[in-house]
Amino acid sequence: MSRRRVKPSLYISVDVEADGPVPGPYSMISFGAAVAGRQDADGFTPTDPEEHTFYRELRPISDEFDPRALAVSGLDRDRLCREGADPAAALAEFTAWVGEVSTGTQPVVCGYPVAFDWMFLYWYLVRFTGGSPFGHSGCMDMKSLYAAKAGLPLRAVAKGTMPRHLLSRRRHTHHALDDAVEQAELFANLMRWEGPDT
């Protein structure tokens, strides 16, 4: 297949806050998404990560939770039980939003690291909507991307060891939308970075 005929990718930075380590027994209590950029045969084009965003706080799906995990987000679980969005409705709205922003492209989730966020998001999408607009493997890990470009073992990588010019200037707040926007900026910087000498 010609490089010119490959469908472009639209990268969507996603951040998840949860009240435990795995979906099912525990709940995704909020998630945020921000469009980070588009890649086609001519390269990567970043977007303003605040231009196209999505955020929901969700009603928990079980009574189980880990107080330490819950404390990370600072969200009030009792309030979410009363006022959080129904997961089926929220995930259907998210799927529709992904469809709108990714017209003509293939949407890809990106995260730092992506494993935790993808695990929750994919599980919720399949459980509550019956499928995923990203397919079963449409995700990219920023930590792996940096390790490959920097020539480092994956477990040696941490944000604190990255060159400062790659990092977003935004604070990591553990508010899912704030962190999705911050990660979108990191992703755009990583995609344009050619390696340790640049």
Q: Judge contact between 145 and 190, C-beta under 8 A.
A: yes
Reply yes or no on whether 174 is catalytic: yes
- Active-site choice (52, 165, 172, 174): 174
Nearest to 72 by CA among 25, 21, 112, 35: 21
Residue 185 CA to residue 198 CA, distance in Å, equals 17
Instruction: Give me the DSSP letters along 90-125.
Output: HHHHHHHHHHHHTTTSEEEEEETTHHHHHHHHHHHH
- Candidates 106, 119, 111, 124; CA nearest to 172 is 111
Residues with catalytic annotation? 174
